Amino acid sequence: MTESTAPETTDAAASVPAEVRVAVLGARGRMGSEAVQAVRRAEGLQLVAELGREDSLQALVAAGAEVVVDLTVPSATEANVRFAVEHGIHCVVGTTGWDAERLDRLEVLLAEHPGVGVLIAPNFSVGAVLAMRFSAQAARFFESVEIVELHHPDKVDAPSGTAARTAALVGEARRAAGVAPSPDATEHDPAGARGALVDDVRVHSVRLRGLVAHQETLLGGVGEQLTIRHDSFDRISFMTGVVLGVREVGSHPGLTHGLEGYLDLGL
């Protein structure tokens, strides 16, 4: 654990714009270690704590964190966020596992703590956010839609949070437009070769050494196909979104689901 204690206010410090005090949870992981560097580089942000699995969440309070970035594991993220919200600390969450039930519980918690902001971002990359939005926009114009997500083999969850969110957005758009589920004559699939069904959309998960994070939305109509593909070749692609989230979350009380809540996509 690395942390610094909360500073005392002095008259001299009062004239200098305060830096946002940021803690990273999961700081030694693939994303967390990148986020630590991004926060260190970012103007106006001060890294006050880097916490790992063994560290007590009380260190967030001791360090005077104003914003916590959660990049841990699906089994830990809800308890982390609950602790932060209950202590008045804003949260920027990239960890997966935020299903509808968890989001509902979080909204109830946030209603009890007005003024605290939480961003749940299935993907911090601007390209991925756009790909999700484009997929939702296109969804009603095609008879068939399936999603293929491709990730590094050290990823512990499937389907990816991005794919689950894309499927939810696509499913919602198709239902709103009265479009039927994609046609599929499969009668016999004992091995589950047709993938997972998420919001009436088939999602296929590939795990392959050499990959980082990639996704295709395949949209099929009679005699044509549209493919919306996004590739993150490096985790640096997520850092603009992490820093934007940290800067914005304090100005957006309550729950924001998706980085697009802080972006003017003009769509």
Ligand X SMILES: O=C(O)C1=N[C@H](C(=O)O)C[C@H](O)C1
- Binding-site residues from annotation for NAD(+): 26-31, 50, 94-96, 121-124
- Residue 166 sits in the site that holds ligand NAI (CB under 6 A): no
Q: Compute the least distance from the CB of residue 95 to ligand NAI, in Å.
A: 4
Q: Compute the least distance from the CB of residue 75 to ligand NAI, in Å.
A: 7
Q: What is the rounded (10 degree) CA torsion for 141, 172, 74, 134?
A: 30
CB 228 within 8 A of CB 217: yes
DSSP 190-227: TT-TT-EEETTEEEEEEE-TT--EEEEEEEEETTEEEE
| Residue 257 annotated among the catalytic residues of the structure | no
Residue 100, CA distances (Å) to 79, 90, 105, 159 in order: 16, 20, 9, 15
- Residue 162 sits in the site that holds ligand X (CB under 6 A): yes
- Residue 71 sits in the site that holds ligand X (CB under 6 A): no
* Stretch in the footprint of ligand X (CB under 6 A) among 52-60, 157-165, 174-182, 183-191: 157-165
Q: Which residue has the tokens 């009265």?
A: 178
- List the binding residues: 26-31, 50, 53, 94-96, 121-124, 152, 161-162
| Among ligand X, ligand NAI, none, partner that 245 touches (CB below 5 to 8 angstroms by kind) | none
Q: Compute the least distance from the CB of residue 125 to ligand X, in Å.
A: 8
- Residue 71 sits in the site that holds ligand NAI (CB under 6 A): yes
- Residue 73 sits in the site that holds ligand NAI (CB under 6 A): yes
- Residue 26 sits in the site that holds ligand X (CB under 6 A): no
* Stretch in the footprint of ligand NAI (CB under 6 A) among 22-30, 105-113, 165-173, 248-256: 22-30
> How many alpha carbons fall within 13 Å on the CB side of residue 55?
22
Q: Give the angle subtended at the CA of 159 by the CAs of 158 and 161, to the nearest 5°.
A: 105
Beta-sheet pairing, 2-3 with 45-51: antiparallel
- Residue 65 sits in the site that holds ligand NAI (CB under 6 A): no
Nearest to 25 by CA among 66, 62, 64, 73: 73
Q: Which residues are catalytic?
A: 151, 155
